Structure 1
Amino acid sequence: MKTNQPGRSFLNRKGLSIAIACVAASPLSYAQDASKEPVNEILITSRYTVTEQLDTATGLGLTLYETPQSVSVVTAERISDQDLDSLTDVVNNAAGVSARAQDSTRHTYSARGFAINNYQVDGIPIYWEPGGNAGETQSNTALYERVEIVRGSTGLLTGAGNPSASINLVRKHADSKELAGSVDLSAGRWNTVGATADVATPLNQSGSVRGRLVAHAEQGDSFRDLGEESTSVLYGVIDADLTDNTLLRVGASRQENDPKGSTWGGLPVWYADGSRTDWARSKTIGADWTSWSSTVEHSYMDLIHDFGDWTAKFSVNHNANASDQMLLYLSGTPDQDTGEGMGASPRNAATDREQTSVSLQLTGQYDLFGRTHDLTLGVVDHEDDSVASSRARENIAPVGNFNEWDGSYPQPTWGASNTEVDQTTEQFGVYGATRLAVSDRFKVILGGRLADWNQQGLYYGTPRNFGDDDVFIPYAGALYELNDQHTVYTSYTEIFQPQNLQDRNGDFLDPIRGQSTELGLKSLYFGGALQTTVAVFDIAQDDLGQPDGDFIVPGTQNSQAYFPAEGANSQGFELEAVGQLMPGWDLSFSYTNFDVEDADGTPVNTSNPSELFKLYTSYQFPGQLDRLTVSGGINWQGRNYTDAVNPVTGDSERLEQEAYSLVSFMARYELSDQLSAQLNVQNALDETYYSQIGFYSQLEYGEPRNVTASLNYRF
């Protein structure tokens, strides 16, 4: 639905210097004339990139070109062209990040060898557990103007987390003083139909008070047997200019996901004789009563005042995620002929998670030593309350012949509800960063965050009460403009992750430190219409808890003691080119290659690909065919694998997804100045692949070829 060969390297390390030369230099011959003009005098824009200032990485309001980290943006136009319906769709197509399915509902995201657990909405941190039990990774793109992704350690603005990436979801806002909007209708494979309305309007004669309303609904079947999907989204926001310098923004959104035939986990990997299974992609472990429904609510208030050289922003954000889970987990090794041998574990559970953030940020400029510099100061207070419960069950029926599974499996007798999780996580952070203009061409960014993180409560029967106070997270970056076209940069960033582990003396371990070092070259071509980035990075984990032999934590019966040690290390490089090659021809290209190993040099986190190639390009024909736009892309990823033990033979086996490509196409025709028709084809070659293999020694198939037709009316 619209809203705005295994083991072989795709590009080996020896080709790095060639790749850098190609990305950094090859377009130069086409841009010699344009480069003679000052970049800021040539107003050329691309549908696939942005020129405005962003706060995702530093809070200083810098452009992509001015930020000393790898930052990518998926714009509303790109979302519309590719028909990217959910956050998972965006991640699958964005530079340097990847998604992995756990079942029909949950996905985990990864960047540079580490799981992503840092998110922002309009620059305000929110925290989701990897996988997300309550609809987090199903967040619909109808709510957002664009998605920004900064890779590496992001502790300056997000506090605790992994040294992977932070995903910033930028909401749509009420910024139009004229009535404007769009209506989309779509129909696709598996009986999928959808509609989206997005309307912005002034609410008074002067336009000082403006509103925007977004509504989206979609339902249909699934490529999995028994599967059905139903999603509804409603979002409203009011922007009010209280004075010429003061803006008040109030908004709220609600998304409901009500699927049927939901799966929990994946399909079995082995038969009872130890041989590998080979299921149809439509095979399911869901039943006719299983469902993983969820509700996601966001409400927020922003008060922004412009003092001239300084801007203050006060924000209050409240997020509530809830899910009701009627699920069935099937496990075992079925007999290839009889289908017997599977066990069942039904689950009736609920989760509720509420997060409240209050933040204040001051951003502006100051003069020192005859030059003007930038400064941002901020404070964030965040509280997260999570509750999860499940019901006891009795009279669990046998699975029978799994080869003939049709989902008509009876529910057990559900008993009383028991609380499994009831915990509160509190975070408080004070941060600051300044960009020093050492010279006209040389800029240095220095900053840091002082962070507190504490968690207490009950977690699956185990009391928790741990955390860290006054953790300092440094940030340093430098950029040097070689000329008006090329800038070299380097940065050192950190992030921390508290760990609920104690040493042989009973003391809690210090938090895990994620340290990211990056060196790169950012370039502008065709008057800034095309932007490229070449980056090499090194990420190291430190103080990762490791079992300390046979030592037990003092005062406990059998709690293993741990000691801090060197953790995983990721080294690699990225290439990215985004923008306009010529009028009407837009491009998004990226290539990522890294190796991640533990302290002993053993590869880790191999269930996510360490090689990604993503290309998408769109072309609007000139002349008499100017109403026609065509686009296409290819997402290639290298192999990923999990080493597991065959439960039948006891032998170690590698569960592997070989390298594969997914091809997509789009064609759009403007029937009039306001009405257009669009056709999208995803996985056009109908590639059969695993969206994950090895999670609890199970497998999940990716979606087959999908075709969607849509009509869009703009006014």
Structure 2
Amino acid sequence: MRRSFHLLLAGSAAMFMPASLHAQHAPQQGTAAEEETGEGIVVTGYGRSDQPTTATGLHLTPIETPQTISVITRQQIDDQALISINDALDFAVGISKKDIDRGRSAISARGFEVQNFQLDGAPFANGNVGFGETSTAIYQRVDLVRGAAGLMHGAGDPSAVVNLIRKHADADAFSGQVSLEAASWNRFAGTVDVQSPLDAAGTVRVRAVVQAYRQDGFVDREEKKGLVLYGVVDADLGPRTKLSVGASYQRDDRDGVMWAQLPYWYTDGTRTRWPRSKTTGTDWGFWNTTEISGFATLTHDLGGKWSIRGDLGYHKGLEESRLLWLDGMPNRVTGAGMATSAYWFKADPEQWNGSIQASGPFSLLGGEHDLAVGAMVNRLTDGWSNRDPVAMDPIADFNHWDGTLAQPAWGPRYVSSRGSTTQAALFATTRIGLVGPLKLIGGGRLSYFRRNEEAAGTSPAYRLTYKGVLTPYAGLVLDITHNLSAYASYTKIFKPQGNVRDRNGRLLNPLEGKNYEAGLKALLLGGKLLATAAVYRIEQDNLAVPDPGQFVPGTSNPAYRGATGTVAKGYELEVVGKVTRQWDLSLGWSDYSAKDAQGVDVLAHQPRRAFNLATKYALAGALDGLSLGGALKWESRPPVTAQNPGTGIVEPIGQPAYAIVNLMARYEMTRQLSLQLNVDNLFDRTFYSGNSWFPGFVYGEPRNARATLRYNF
């Protein structure tokens, strides 16, 4: 047996050493995935990393970067048995995940929804279901930058940027991993990940990942199955030039999916008490998605520590869903009163992204400085079509309804939306040493944005064009001591609001704003612990909010107005790393408020405060090879409210403050074979994972367990 230090807690991405911990210390002997490599980064063990570029484009360590950064490594994903990207983000400090229904989740940070996703640094528009629901099987790590990151991402929200970094072929010999998984609700999954050089010199290497699964749900009628395929070829074209070419495919078929949320009240204002298995889904409902992507990356060492990189990326999403929508509130005695509607949705958005960038050091006035410059262009073609039911049978008694409903006849398919978006940009960033330990990081992005929307359904055609939009970025980093730095940063926010119209039929102006952040980062215990403290303020104008009682002329679409003075402000605290050689510890706290100009909470269904505590201990002696861990996550009650139908009083309806406890254990039977058990929601706490419509809610997952047998070769 041997000591294992790569065992992780189920339930908290924050417990392991994240991107920000860059102090060097040796990993435990024989740990799996002892070293992971990627473009501009080295990750060892649990979340230690160097030089992620998502925030500024410069190769800076997180303690040198004037924004908060986290990295969720491959080791964390494996040890926590994290299935989807949203699972991986769920327990990150400052991130809140809430279910919209049983098919999608919404991720928020600092008061705003996270819609800014990247694939290997290339920005891609997030779809209806979104990148958050995709499998973690093909990714090496997830980089997370909280706050606005318009310098490298372009038009977007001031919440966070999630950069999904794919796996690559870097082994000098044939190797791989096979895992088998059995879990609650009849989940069975198998994953094979293999890589090998293709020539004796190892200059051409290939890697392939295959994953298949099937699973029922704790909600009645839910069933799903899926397949993931991924392949990449990495080639050294010369001593200074490397080429990577790859593609991925993910198919998820989901039957009996619950689309609408469960009603919160009966018509008399008394609370409903549904079993957690209660559904609004039907036996004919489905929600199927396919994600297809391809990419090519060429890098060249120019000498003098300068390099140039070119990227070409492609992504296509296919979605088809036939779903039932329920609205209203049932009678407490008879169960009557739930209105039914349905749709048969299809969409196939397609995106291309191309970029080129160069970075390296330069000398000026006796000092060494850094510079990154680049250009990128992105093209999205999207839209969707629908079929409406000819007629719908009512649900006579929702109190006893089990999802059985006759499928309606469907009308002809029609186009509801169709258009294209083109973005192009030039950017430059530099880090300049000012006086002694003080460094200035400054730059800007010059953007072009065009949206062409064709006339479809009740939506008229329109064109939005914005030229020469400047997004400035400025940051200061002061090295107080070798292990302590203070920072401050500023950037602007810009996001066009296509197809959002006011009471006069005019399109709203783009969302604009400012993002301020300041903080401290300290390395403790000889660099084994990282402590961070950050405060921020986000100001926005032209935020689209409903204009009560008003409609877009000539349509039944509700009108919006652009609110000014929307402000989100708060702070985040985190301590993460190793207390001793065997003991990993993480503490995280986030607290914020987000209100519009009228003082009304923004994204009110998201909690304002959250606390994460996680720990893991690797045993020694007679129990060498066994690791035990645990995690606690607490969230405050979100400020969402609704009017009680019985009393007419506006009441809070958010999930009361609650805590979830997860446990894990892993035993390494040999250096190659291990068995892992994860138990989530140990005390089987009943809670709402999301509540924002009807008013309604979606239950969070009950207690569940997952066993994983993993073999490395």
The TM-score, its normalising length taken from structure 1, stands at 0.90
Matched, 1:468 2:466: yes
1:75 corresponds in structure 2 to: 73
Q: Is the 8 A contact 1:392 1:418 kept in 2?
A: no
For the residue of structure 1 that corresponds to 2:526, the secondary structure is helix
For the residue of structure 2 that corresponds to 1:527, the secondary structure is helix
Report the alpha carbon displacement of residue 196 of structure 1 after superposing the two structures with TM.
0.9
Q: Is the 8 A contact 2:318 2:347 kept in 1?
A: yes
Correspondence 1:349-364 to 2 at 5 A? 349-364=345-360
Instruction: Write the deviation string for residues 304-337 of structure 1: whole angstroms up to 9, x where unpaired.
Output: 1111221111101101111110111112221222
Report the alpha carbon displacement of residue 625 of structure 1 after superposing the two structures with TM.
2.1
Q: Is the 8 A contact 1:121 1:169 kept in 2?
A: yes
1:423 corresponds in structure 2 to: 419
Matched, 1:668 2:663: no
Which of 240, 265, 277 does residue 270 from structure 1 map onto?
265
2:485 corresponds in structure 1 to: 487
Q: Distance in 2 between matches of 1:99 and 1:653?
A: 23
Q: Is the 8 A contact 1:468 1:511 kept in 2?
A: no
1:148 corresponds in structure 2 to: 143
Q: Distance in 1 between matches of 2:707 and 2:548?
A: 60
Letter paired with 1:280: P
Report the alpha carbon displacement of residue 143 of structure 1 after superposing the two structures with TM.
1.2
Q: Distance in 1 between matches of 2:550 and 2:402?
A: 50
Letter paired with 1:597: K
For the residue of structure 1 that corresponds to 2:684, the secondary structure is coil
1:383 corresponds in structure 2 to: 379
For the residue of structure 2 that corresponds to 1:695, the secondary structure is coil
Which of 594, 597, 600 does residue 599 from structure 1 map onto?
597
Distance 1:196 1:563, change over 3 A: closer
For the residue of structure 2 that corresponds to 1:415, the secondary structure is coil
1:34 corresponds in structure 2 to: none
Report the alpha carbon displacement of residue 584 of structure 1 after superposing the two structures with TM.
2.7
Which of 325, 328, 332 does residue 329 from structure 1 map onto?
325
2:410 corresponds in structure 1 to: 414
Matched, 1:527 2:526: yes
Letter paired with 1:537: Y
Report the alpha carbon displacement of residue 460 of structure 1 after superposing the two structures with TM.
5.1
Letter paired with 2:348: D
1:113 corresponds in structure 2 to: 111
For the residue of structure 1 that corresponds to 2:46, the secondary structure is coil
Distance 1:460 1:441, change over 3 A: farther
Letter paired with 2:530: Q
For the residue of structure 1 that corresponds to 2:388, the secondary structure is strand
Report the alpha carbon displacement of residue 623 of structure 1 after superposing the two structures with TM.
3.0
Which of 100, 103, 115 does residue 102 from structure 1 map onto?
100
Distance 1:333 1:504, change over 3 A: closer
Q: Is the 8 A contact 2:107 2:114 kept in 1?
A: yes
Instruction: Write the deviation string for residues 539-569 of structure 1: whole angstroms up to 9, x where unpaired.
Output: 111344678999999x999999987652321
Instruction: Write the deviation string for residues 388-434 of structure 1: whole angstroms up to 9, x where unpaired.
Output: 11113213212122222222211100121011111111111111100
Q: Is the 8 A contact 2:663 2:679 kept in 1?
A: yes
Q: Distance in 2 between matches of 1:328 and 1:557?
A: 24
1:10 corresponds in structure 2 to: none
1:638 corresponds in structure 2 to: 636
2:701 corresponds in structure 1 to: 703
Report the alpha carbon displacement of residue 440 of structure 1 after superposing the two structures with TM.
5.0
Q: Distance in 2 between matches of 1:503 and 1:396?
A: 33
Identity of aligned residues (%): 41
Gaps of 5+ in 2: 1-5, 9-21, 28-42
Distance 1:327 1:547, change over 3 A: closer
Report the alpha carbon displacement of residue 626 of structure 1 after superposing the two structures with TM.
2.2
Q: Distance in 2 between matches of 1:520 and 1:155?
A: 20
2:37 corresponds in structure 1 to: none
2:210 corresponds in structure 1 to: 215
Residues paired across the two proteins, number? 676
Distance 1:404 1:252, change over 3 A: same
2:515 corresponds in structure 1 to: 516
Q: Distance in 2 between matches of 1:322 and 1:387?
A: 11
1:11 corresponds in structure 2 to: none
Report the alpha carbon displacement of residue 510 of structure 1 after superposing the two structures with TM.
4.2
Instruction: Write the deviation string for residues 78-105 of structure 1: whole angstroms up to 9, x where unpaired.
Output: 2122211111111211111111111111
Letter paired with 1:232: L
Q: Distance in 2 between matches of 1:114 and 1:638?
A: 17
For the residue of structure 1 that corresponds to 2:62, the secondary structure is coil
Report the alpha carbon displacement of residue 503 of structure 1 after superposing the two structures with TM.
8.3
Report the alpha carbon displacement of residue 692 of structure 1 after superposing the two structures with TM.
1.1
Q: Distance in 2 between matches of 1:50 and 1:170?
A: 15
Letter paired with 2:574: E
2:34 corresponds in structure 1 to: none
Q: Is the 8 A contact 2:82 2:136 kept in 1?
A: yes
Distance 1:405 1:146, change over 3 A: same
Report the alpha carbon displacement of residue 622 of structure 1 after superposing the two structures with TM.
2.4
For the residue of structure 2 that corresponds to 1:435, the secondary structure is strand
Report the alpha carbon displacement of residue 601 of structure 1 after superposing the two structures with TM.
3.2
For the residue of structure 2 that corresponds to 1:258, the secondary structure is strand
The TM-score, its normalising length taken from structure 2, stands at 0.90
Q: Is the 8 A contact 1:492 1:515 kept in 2?
A: yes
Matched, 1:653 2:614: no
Distance 1:139 1:562, change over 3 A: closer
Letter paired with 2:524: Y
Correspondence 1:533-572 to 2 at 5 A? 533-544=532-543, 566-572=564-570
Matched, 1:444 2:443: no
Q: Is the 8 A contact 1:152 1:493 kept in 2?
A: no
1:397 corresponds in structure 2 to: 393
Letter paired with 2:710: N
Q: Distance in 2 between matches of 1:117 and 1:697?
A: 24
Q: Is the 8 A contact 1:3 1:141 kept in 2?
A: no
Distance 1:223 1:692, change over 3 A: same
Higher mean displacement: 425-434 or 403-412: 403-412
Instruction: Write the deviation string for residues 473-524 of structure 1: whole angstroms up to 9, x where unpaired.
Output: 1101111111111011111122211134678999865422231111111111
Q: Distance in 2 between matches of 1:173 and 1:85?
A: 19
Q: Is the 8 A contact 1:239 1:248 kept in 2?
A: yes
Q: Distance in 2 between matches of 1:330 and 1:268?
A: 9
Q: Distance in 2 between matches of 1:521 and 1:190?
A: 45
Q: Is the 8 A contact 2:23 2:528 kept in 1?
A: no
Q: Distance in 2 between matches of 1:109 and 1:80?
A: 21
For the residue of structure 1 that corresponds to 2:381, the secondary structure is strand
Q: Is the 8 A contact 2:278 2:402 kept in 1?
A: no
Gaps of 5+ in 1: 5-38
Q: Is the 8 A contact 1:262 1:292 kept in 2?
A: yes
Which of 216, 219, 231 does residue 226 from structure 2 map onto?
231
1:312 corresponds in structure 2 to: 308
Q: Distance in 1 between matches of 2:548 and 2:25?
A: 65
Q: Distance in 2 between matches of 1:615 and 1:173?
A: 32
Q: Is the 8 A contact 1:233 1:255 kept in 2?
A: yes
Letter paired with 2:613: L
Q: Is the 8 A contact 2:7 2:666 kept in 1?
A: no
Instruction: Write the deviation string for residues 657-715 of structure 1: whole angstroms up to 9, x where unpaired.
Output: 11111111110000111000000001111110001123231111000001011101011
Distance 1:674 1:560, change over 3 A: closer
Distance 1:368 1:407, change over 3 A: same
Matched, 1:682 2:680: yes
Q: Distance in 2 between matches of 1:551 and 1:417?
A: 29
Matched, 1:136 2:141: no
Q: Distance in 2 between matches of 1:558 and 1:709?
A: 51
Matched, 1:374 2:370: yes
Correspondence 1:15-26 to 2 at 5 A? none
Letter paired with 1:462: S
Q: Distance in 1 between matches of 2:502 and 2:216?
A: 51
Q: Distance in 2 between matches of 1:246 and 1:3?
A: 36
